[in-house]
Chains A and B, each alone.
Chain A
Amino acid sequence: MKFIVQFIAILFFAHLMDLFLPWYSIALAAFVVGYFLKSRLTFLAGFLAIATLWTFNAWLIDSSSTSDLATRVSHILNLKHVFLLYLLMATIGGVVGGFAAMTGALLRDTVAD
């Protein structure tokens, strides 16, 4: 349960901040949520939240257009299929989100006692 709350909170705040601020604001969102809401799988929550957020938004944009820019970008980055571009994007966002959330949780640990 805690995990799901954490996941949703990161997703929500990261989305809000990413709309107006540079991409690394997602790390701040994950960090803050990781600090205040703790679960046993904080890293995973951060990872999945950002990976989901980014994948969903990218898919939303991609599916509302006939443009093949995503495929073109895959080729520019030497990826054979656009699926790999999604995977790369989700992994990158996820890792940053995961570490940021974990850092928040670990900071909480240091002030807990």
Chain B
Amino acid sequence: MTTEHLMRVIKFLISLSVTLLLIFVLDRRWDIGGAPIPPVARFLDPLGGFWRNIEPTDMKAPEPMPIQGVTDDITIILDSLAIPHIFAANDLDLYFAQGYVTARHRLWQMEFLTHAAAGRVSEIAGVGKDNAILDYDRGQRRLGMVYAAKRGLDALVTNQEAMIMLEKYTEGVNAYISTLSYKNLPFEYKLLNYSPEKWTTMKCLLLLKSMAQSLTMREKDMEMTNTLKLFGPEMVSLLFPDKEGVPDPIIDNPGGWKFNRTISDSIPLALPDELIKLQKLPGPNPANGSNNWVVSGAKTSTGAPILSGDPHLDLSMPSLWYAIQLHAPGINAIGTSLPGLPGVIIGCTDSIAWSETNAQRDMVDWYKIKFEDGTRNKYWLDSQWVESKKVVEKFVPRGSDIFYDTIVYTEWGPIPYDASFHSKDNRTNYAFKWMGHEPTEDVIAIYKLNRANNYKQFTEAISHAGCPGQNFAFASMSGDIAMHVQGKFPLRRQLEGKFVLDGSRKSSGWLRTIPTQENIFRLNPARGFESSANQYPADETYPFYITAGSFEAYRNRRINNELRKMQNIKVSDMMKLQTDNYNLKAAEILPLMIEQLKGSNLNDKQKDAVKLISSWDYIDDPGSDGATYFEVWFRKVIALTWDEMQSDEVLLQRPTDFTTIKFIRENPSFIFFDIKSTPEVETAGDIIRKAFLLSVDDIDQWKKAHHESKVPWGDYKNSFINHLLRISALGQQIPGGGSAETINALTKSHGPSWRMIASLEKTGIKMWAVYPGGQSGNPGSRYYNNMTDHWLHGKYYELKSYATADEAQGESLYKLEIEKPRH
């Protein structure tokens, strides 16, 4: 070999190495300073990477495709909003198609949410900054989320209808997954560089339990226990009364409860020797709630009942909800579904309509456990040491070592907080009991609701609803309207569940649940309407003890005040009410707040602020400056008043705004108005004045920072729908009005996640709906967020329920045909 030839070989080898190294580097996922970088070339390749997720404006219908597991031909019509209308010959194919078509639009979201429910996010995203993601995952396992889903599924195995739903839905999702290769994976898989796993019936249950978690885990047992220890029982009943005396409970029916089952005995308190010190897992958003109402034909212009519903939940991209019509022999349901769960959750059948709000009721308890020793192998129960069960949970975080966590289970449930998790004094051992851990029949409730055609069938269907407890508004084409507070509510003794309970005696457990017929409900009320907005469910004569994290106090009254006045109601009136921004809380307290400023020495800016806020109409419109001034001012009042409840160490909670306002009005020299850190003794008036000065400063700073002379509420609040991965480039700004107390309860990243109005006319139900986002979960689709604008501006789309596929096809986007395999 000559030197020259050797040089050529070396040159070749160098060039080859560079090429291969480039391919290796560009085909690999990198983690740079905690920010994951997708395999750059694979991701950017227009023939296979993310560009493939950009959908052309004109979508062509795919060819009819035979799919294994289908018993007959299925037609799915996607309408102009990409809402699927499924026409199937039987239940098997119906749920298969629902799984298939939902996965087609939302697969990544469905899987991500089930990973989140099961404490498996770290498998995709790594342990996170300061182990935050691993910590979240551990929290989910420690709350027994997987345990809950597993028990829920085990209990359904013998129910044929429920299993058909879950199994065929699962098959449909998997049929879609099996069509995927890298090039047509949903966008987020490409971004994070991973692939979907097989769907399972267990995942459906995980989603259901995750929804139950968001709606039932805002309890305050430990906070109340600490309050009791610090301030005594009188103060607890003053600061946190179970009945706050808010007018307009859901069913106001004094003396009308025809059963008397008052439990005379009370439950002994199990006050710990020391204050409970732990870092509580972040609970669900306190604003989780909803509105629904129904008016009878006597109050409407057509003579037909009208039902309205809007669930308020964390807003996200892809959207929380997925609209769908399910049509097969014995079922025609249209409305909204949760991606990952078969059936329609809120909607209409051929002759009824229903919508849920959260019942708020306490379905969580904490039991103080006494262990024999540090091994925690045995705990004290009814005068003997009982074996605990230890479950080792495995975590496989991306890019880190496998992590094992041992969770101790007792008769009551798992012990989430202990020396290795979130405890601040290593002495905490409280077992967590949750109705969601109990096998409930919510899937059966959905199955039957979707087939109910009258009041009797409706009540039978919802009698299976267990956890979360829901307020069901109902209307039928035949003219019935009703409200049912339904769920498996523990029948509680006085104060049971308000504080931590004694876990050393079985008698501290739940006695049983309230029988369905003794739950709170009413059919065809004389006033001609029913409504619910997460307020206290009944008047004082309802015989059972009721406690909760909190109850609503303003939206409920605003809704009822309006409905009482209204006659000859049109659908457009209901749309206006559903998007109403009137702030009743402001109307009730602001005049008194302004009065406190009289005689104060104010500078020009402060005087201008007073002038502005004095002329405000209490409407939280996006362009309103007054709304901003009130909101900032009131928040400062709350923060200054309840400075005693702010502690990094001890778990405490603030009383509600309603109760705070009551103190301002009735007891302005109440001891809590005194600010601890100042030598003076403040009164409510002092707090309000101090808060005012601070709020004007804050708003001034905001104006300077934003180079604005005004401070419109929509801009100040700056609502945003973020992507589930918290990648803001995939989210959307929504500068809307409203606040937690307005019917249009849009806060920073939370609000009306679905709005629906149904008019139950004899000629057929008419339905309008809208939600933020769109049907597709693909950020490269025009259906990713095509409905947001309508939603933001209080507009609706008519949702049509079709009798046949042919009828539906007229206005369709395109037809998706699934064929039975022919041999």
Chain A residues with CB under 8 Å of chain B are 15, 18-19, 22-24, 27, 31, 54, 57-58, 60-62, 64-67, 69-70, 72-73, 75-77, 85, 88-89, 92-93, 95-96, 99-100, 102-103, 106-107, 109-110, 113
Contact = CB atoms under 8 A, between A and B. Distances in A.
Would you call the interface of chain A mostly helix, strand, loop, or mixed? Answer: helix
A31 B22 CA distance: 14
B737 interface: no
Given A27-B23, A58-B51, A113-B5, A67 B15 contact: no
Given A65-B57, A103-B19, A24 B11 contact: no
B9 interface: yes
Contacts of A93: 41, 44-45
Nearest to B728: A75
Given A76-B729, A109-B11, A23 B780 contact: no
A40 B37 CA distance: 36
B182 interface: yes
Contacts of A75: 728-729
B54 A69 contact: yes
Contacts of B52: 61
Contacts of B57: 64-66
Contact of A92 (B44, B182, B781): B44
A76 B191 contact: yes
Given A69-B53, A103-B16, A24 B8 contact: no
Nearest to B58: A64
Given A22-B27, A65-B55, A65-B57, 7 more contacts: A23-B42, A62-B51, A67-B779, A69-B779, A72-B729, A85-B44, A100-B19
The 7 A-B pairs of least Cβ separation, nearest first, read A75-B729, A23-B45, A69-B780, A57-B46, A106-B12, A58-B46, A99-B19
Nearest to A97: B19
B230 to A, nearest CB: 47
B577 interface: no
Given A102-B15, A109-B12, A113-B5, A54 B45 contact: yes
Contacts of B48: 18, 22-23
A64 B782 CA distance: 12
Given A24-B41, A76-B727, A61 B51 contact: yes
Given A18-B47, A103-B19, A23 B41 contact: yes
B56 A107 contact: no
A103 B15 contact: yes
B22 A23 contact: no
Interface string B165-204: 0000000000000000010000100010000000000000
Contacts of A31: 19
B184 to A, nearest CB: 13
A75 B121 CA distance: 24
* B interface residue count range (under 10 / 10 to 19 / 20 to 34 / 35 or more): 35 or more
A110 B46 contact: no
15 contacts: A15-B47, A18-B45, A27-B19, A57-B47, A58-B46, A61-B51, A61-B54, A62-B51, A69-B187, A76-B727, A85-B44, A88-B44, A92-B44, A93-B45, A103-B15
A107 B12 CA distance: 6
B58 to A, nearest CB: 8
Listed residue (A18, A64, A110) with the most chain B CB atoms within 10 angstroms of its CB? A110
B340 interface: no
A44 to B, nearest CB: 14
B50 interface: yes
A23 B55 contact: no
Contacts of A65: 54-57, 780, 782
Contact of B47 (A23, A77, A99, A100): A23
A42 to B, nearest CB: 10
B796 to A, nearest CB: 23
Contact of B23 (A18, A24, A66, A69): A24
Contacts of B44: 54, 85, 88-89, 92-93
B514 interface: no
Contacts of B730: 72, 76
A65 B782 CA distance: 8
A44 B601 CA distance: 76
A72 B188 CA distance: 13
Listed residue (B18, B53, B191, B784) with the most chain A CB atoms within 10 angstroms of its CB? B18
Listed residue (A57, A72, A75) with the most chain B CB atoms within 10 angstroms of its CB? A72
A99 B53 contact: no
A96 B50 CA distance: 19
Contacts of A22: 27, 42, 48, 182
B49 interface: yes
Contacts of A67: 54-55, 779-782, 784
Contact of A96 (B5, B11, B26, B781): B26
Contacts of A106: 8, 11-12, 15-16
